[in-house]
Amino acid sequence: MLVIGGALVGAGLGVYRARNLGGSMADQVQYAAGYGLAFTMLGIVATFAIHRIIA
């Protein structure tokens, strides 16, 4: 759940950031992809850490 949430939040933040910088649609897609991947990786790390603590 954290991974999917991280991907969606990251993509949203990427689009928001690109729009604030005055980027074109291609810039917004690129920022969404980059932020989405970064937040997905953070979600994976958080999931592993939570499972490690609980188990």
pLDDT for the residue numbered 24: 96
Judge whether 46 and 5 are in contact, CB under 8 Å: no
Per-residue pLDDT at 34: 98
Q: How far is CA 34 from the centre of its chain?
A: 7
Give the model's pLDDT for residue 54. 92
Instruction: Please report, to the nearest 10 degrees, the dihedral formed by the alpha carbons of residues 41, 45, 47, 53 taken in order.
Output: 180
**The residue to which tokens 């689009």 are assigned:** 15
Predicted confidence at residue 17, as pLDDT, reads 98
Closest CA to 3 of 27, 51, 17: 51
pLDDT along the chain (55 residues), means of 10: 96 98 97 98 96 92
- Map out the domains of the chain as residue ranges: 2-49
* CB contact set of 21 (below 8 Å; sequence gap of 6+): 27
